[in-house]
Structure formats: structure tokens, C-alpha cells
């Protein structure tokens, strides 16, 4: 190492010097002293490597100390954090899908901190079955003969195909061989289960005769798959469930439907058609023998995969060794049971997902005006030279692959602050606040959609905006 490089290296603050900074003690409490030392060591090593690579690298001790502080703050902050969803997308997959009802949260807290009857029968004083907590409720709410739950709908599909069609043929329309979020592809899922996929029809049109011609002695089931966000419009045809059921049963086959969202109630009052998104009960009534669906989409519960249908078929699933690898934990079961009990007593509007979907335009407009008043009062306390804030109509969405072509008429508070740059830049700053706010944007304004705001979110948005304006104070705000 030449003399110049050595001189530069000596200017890098030592580990002891960084550890002596007054704010380090706070992070030692949160992360532990050894973790703090390790993180600082990695930071210093990267700085030295950069200097060796380029001896003209500009740095100073203050900058390194500030980088260290930012690193500690990042590592001490939980990566899974609550955010304000101001996007208007109710079942926002990237933001955790459905929110739990208060009753469900209370049950989770109760069960999480106590021993429970997860697999214990109080009546018999012996081992019980964890599926018992959900089965009766699902049967009651859907009309199914039997039910079982696993950890998500992908697992439900795999378990059902493995138990009912492994080493046999499953016939499915080409128009339903979809890929949904997270690279979940129906052909690959079917291959993983051990069933042999038989494609019929074309992308846009599949007829009953296509299924009938594909049936052989090796066929086990006809499979119908919800297309999620994918839709074919125009010259399109798919066979009604009733006709598929009639064909399947006349040939001794099973009709299984991956319903995806798992709606338990009629959503037509919210302007949503059930043609492509029937309720679980409607799917079973149409003749489906097995139906799988998610718990954390339209149902509004925790992440879970439910399988309902004929008793003799569900019993085959219960006997599968794969079930143990896919089973649901006690907190998920507690939340799911509590959510189902809200539907049971006709109190589904207490489920946040349902409540948000059914919000009226009048409620949303009033909410937008209230938020706009609060933000306007805040903005008047700043030195901003120009800003715009108004209540505007907005297009909301159900999300989660449900009703992709349907728009929910909503309202938003639209905020534009030219001094802070584009709407995209303002939205980015809001996302990086202590309590992140995720919002929409249009016409170079940030849109705070009211439909997906929860109690207290007005205050959180105002706090985030105050934080952002402090950042921009150099411009005279």
C-alpha cells in the first residue's frame, strides 16, 4: 500500500470512535452490542474497499458516521410494518391483502398468549383435530357436506389434485391455464401434484364437446380455474358449471373448481356481478364436487386455503400425508373462525374488506372532504407558495384478482405541491415516512383514496405530510 493510500486510510474513523458516538447506545439496546459492532465493521470494510478501488473517492468522517446511523436505523426498524393504504385497492396483495376484523384480532391475541384447544377435545379429555375449528362453520355458510383448511389456496389446489387425481388425468380449458401473482402457474401446480394435465379448447373458446372428447379411462376430473386478473373479452365462450357438472357426473368424474377469491355473500349491491365471481355456495349448488378458495381475499379473513365439497372426497384429503406440511397454525385458525362467525350471525359488514367494498359514494365524498379540510389547515401553516388540494372522483378496485374489470366509484383528496417536484416524488417521500403512506397519483397530483383508509388514517396522513414538509424546509416551506 503506497503512502498516499495509507494516509487516506488513516482518516477513516476507527471502530472505537464510532462506538463512542452518543446515538450508538440506543441501537445497542435494540440490536445488541455485537450486532452493532458487526454492522459497523461491514460499513468500514466497504469504505476501505472503495478507497482501494479508487483512491480519489471523496469521503469524510461525518459522512461515514451518518451512513452508520442510517444503517442502524434501518436494521433496528421491523421490515414488516403497518402502512396507510390510500390507493383505493381494497385487497391489495402487496400490502397484505385483507385486514382482519376487530373480533378476529382479539381472538388471535387471546390464543397467541395462552394454551388452547388447538388439538384437544375438552369433552373427551383427549386429542382433538385442528380442522374441527373451521369445518362446521364452512359447512354452514357454504352448504358443503365437509370442509378442510390449509395454509393458502395454492396449497389447497395441490392437496386436492394430489389426493383426487394423482397419476390420473385432469381435463382443463386452455383459457384457464393462467399465471397469477408470484409465478403461480396452473400447469406447474398440476405437474407438482402428480396429475396429468389434458388441455382442451382454445384460449378464447372452449365447448362442452371439447371436454367430452378428451375423457378417457384415465380421466379423474374436470378442473375449472378462476382466471384471476386475466380476462378474454369479445369472441369468448366457457362452459357453464352446470353443464360441466352434468358431464362429469355422467362419466363418473369429479368436477373441481379453483374459485380463487372465496366470496361468501352476494356483492351485486356493490355493483359487482357474480357471473365470473360466484359465491362458494353458488359454485357448489351448480354441481361442483370440490371447491377451493382463499381466506384473505373477498372473504376478508387471514391467509388460508379452504376446500369444501362432497364428504367422501374431503375425507380422502384428510388422509393425505401432505396435509401435515400444509396445516394451519393456531393464530390463523383463531382469526378464521372469528371471521366466519361474523358471517354466521349476519354481521359481515364488520369485516373490513366487505365494509370497504360496500361503502357508498356519499360516505366516500364526505370522507374526502374531511381529509381535505384537515390537510388544508396543515398546509396553511407552511410557507408554501403554491399548492392545490381538492376533492375529486376516483376509480377504486376490489383487487386480489377479483372483479378485475369492475371499477368501484370512489372519491379522493388530490394534492399537488409544485415546489416539491412531481407527484411521483411526493408519493415517494410519503412512502419513506415514519408511518409510510402509499397513495395513488394522477394529473401530477397525489391521490389519497378514501375507500381504503381506516380509522386514524387521516391523522397519519397529516403526520406524514408534516414530516415531508420538514424535509423540504430548505425551500422555504
161-186 as b/e: b if 16+ CB within 10 A:
bbbbbeebbbbbbebbbbebeeeeeb
> How far is the C-alpha of 307 from the C-alpha of 320, rounded, in Å?
14
pLDDT of residue 229: 66
Q: How far is CA 420 from CA 76, 385, 391, 442, in A?
A: 29, 11, 20, 16
Percent of the chain scored above 90 by pLDDT? Answer: 74
238 vs 275: CA distance, rounded Å: 12
- CATH code for the domain defined by 102-350: 3.40.640.10
Helical residues (DSSP H) of 251-360, grouped into ranges: 280-285, 311-318, 322-326, 330-344, 352-357
Q: Note the CATH number of domain 84-93+357-475.
A: 3.90.1150.180
Per domain, the residue ranges of the chain are 3-76, 84-93+357-475, 102-350
CA distances from 374 to 47, 330, 377, 421 (A): 45, 41, 5, 22
- Coil, helix or strand for 209? helix
- Strand, helix or coil at 215? coil
| pLDDT score at 1 | 55
For residues 239 and 229, what is the distance between their CA atoms, to the nearest angstrom? 19
What is d(CA 409, CA 380) in angstroms, rounded to the nearest whole number? 30
State the pLDDT at residue 259.
92
- The per-residue pLDDT for range 9-26, each reduced to its tens digit, is 777 888 888 899 999 999
- Cβ burial of 75 (10 Å; 0-12, 13-18, 19+) is middle
- With left for phi above 0 and alpha for psi between -120 and 50, is residue 45 left, alpha or beta? alpha
Segments of the chain scoring below 50 in pLDDT: 471-472, 474-477
pLDDT value of residue 472: 42
**Residue 471, pLDDT score:** 46
C-alpha cell at 448: 389519497
HSE-up of 171 (CA within 13 Å, CB side)?
28
pLDDT in the model for residue 54: 74
Amino acid at each position: 500500500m503506497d503512502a498516499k493510500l495509507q494516509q487516506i486510510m488513516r482518516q477513516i474513523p476507527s471502530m472505537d470512535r464510532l462506538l463512542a458516538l452518543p446515538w450508538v447506545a440506543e441501537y445497542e439496546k435494540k440490536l445488541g452490542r455485537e450486532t452493532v459492532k458487526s454492522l459497523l465493521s461491514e460499513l468500514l470494510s466497504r469504505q476501505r474497499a472503495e478507497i482501494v478501488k479508487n483512491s480519489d473517492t471523496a469521503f469524510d468522517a461525518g459522512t461515514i458516521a451518518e451512513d452508520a446511523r442510517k444503517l442502524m436505523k434501518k436494521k433496528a426498524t421491523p421490515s414488516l410494518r403497518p402502512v396507510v393504504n390510500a390507493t383505493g385497492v381494497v385487497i391489495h396483495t402487496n400490502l397484505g391483502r385483507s385486514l382482519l376484523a376487530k373480533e378476529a384480532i382479539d381472538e388471535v391475541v387471546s390464543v397467541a398468549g395462552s394454551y388452547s384447544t388447538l388439538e384437544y377435545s375438552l369433552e373427551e379429555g383427549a386429542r382433538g383435530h385442528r380442522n374441527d375449528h373451521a369445518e362446521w362453520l364452512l359447512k354452514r355458510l357454504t352448504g358443503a357436506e365437509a370442509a378442510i383448511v390449509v395454509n393458502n389456496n395454492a396449497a389447497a389446489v395441490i392437496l386436492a389434485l394430489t389426493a383426487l387425481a394423482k397419476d390420473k388425468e385432469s381435463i382443463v380449458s386452455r383459457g384457464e391455464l393462467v399465471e397469477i401473482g408470484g409465478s403461480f402457474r396452473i400447469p406447474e401446480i398440476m405437474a407438482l401434484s402428480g396429475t396429468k394435465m389434458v388441455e382442451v379448447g382454445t384460449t378464447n373458446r372452449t365447448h362442452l364437446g371439447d371436454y367430452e372428447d378428451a375423457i378417457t379411462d384415465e380421466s379423474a376430473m374436470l378442473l375449472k380455474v378462476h382466471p384471476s386478473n386475466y380476462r378474454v373479452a369479445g369472441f369468448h365462450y366457457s362452459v357453464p358449471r352446470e353443464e360441466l357438472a352434468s358431464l362429469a357426473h355422467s362419466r363418473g368424474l369429479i368436477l373441481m373448481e379453483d374459485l380463487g377469491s372465496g366470496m361468501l355473500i352476494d356483492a351485486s349491491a356493490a355493483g359487482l356481478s357474480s357471473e365470473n365471481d360466484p359465491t362458494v355456495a353458488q359454485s357448489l349448488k351448480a354441481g361442483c364436487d370440490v371447491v377451493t378458495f382463499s381466506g384473505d381475499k373477498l372473504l376478508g379473513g387471514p391467509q388460508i386455503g379452504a376446500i369444501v365439497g362432497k364428504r367422501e372426497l374431503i375425507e380422502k384429503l384428510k388422509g393425505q400425508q401432505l396435509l401435515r406440511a400444509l396445516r394451519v397454525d393456531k393464530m390463523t385458525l383463531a382469526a378464521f373462525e372469528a371471521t366466519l362467525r361474523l358471517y354466521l350471525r349476519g354481521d359481515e359488514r364488520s369485516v373490513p374488506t366487505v365494509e370497504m367494498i360496500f361503502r357508498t359514494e356519499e360516505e366516500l365524498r364526505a370522507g374526502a372532504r374531511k381529509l381535505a379540510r384537515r390537510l388544508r389547515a396543515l398546509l396553511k401553516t407552511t410557507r408554501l407558495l403554491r399548492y392545490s388540494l381538492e376533492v375529486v372522483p376516483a376509480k377504486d378496485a376490489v383487487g386480489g384478482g377479483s372483479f378485475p374489470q369492475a371499477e368501484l366509484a370512489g372519491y379522493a383528496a388530490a394534492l399537488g405541491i409544485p415546489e416539491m417536484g412531481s407527484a411521483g416524488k411526493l408519493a415517494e417521500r410519503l412512502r419513506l415516512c415514519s408511518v409510510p403512506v402509499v397513495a395513488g397519483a394522477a394529473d401530477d397530483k397525489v391521490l389519497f383514496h378514501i375507500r381504503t383508509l381506516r380509522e386514524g388514517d387521516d391523522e397519519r396522513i397529516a403526520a406524514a405530510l408534516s414530516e415531508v414538509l420538514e424535509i423540504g424546509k430548505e425551500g422555504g416551506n
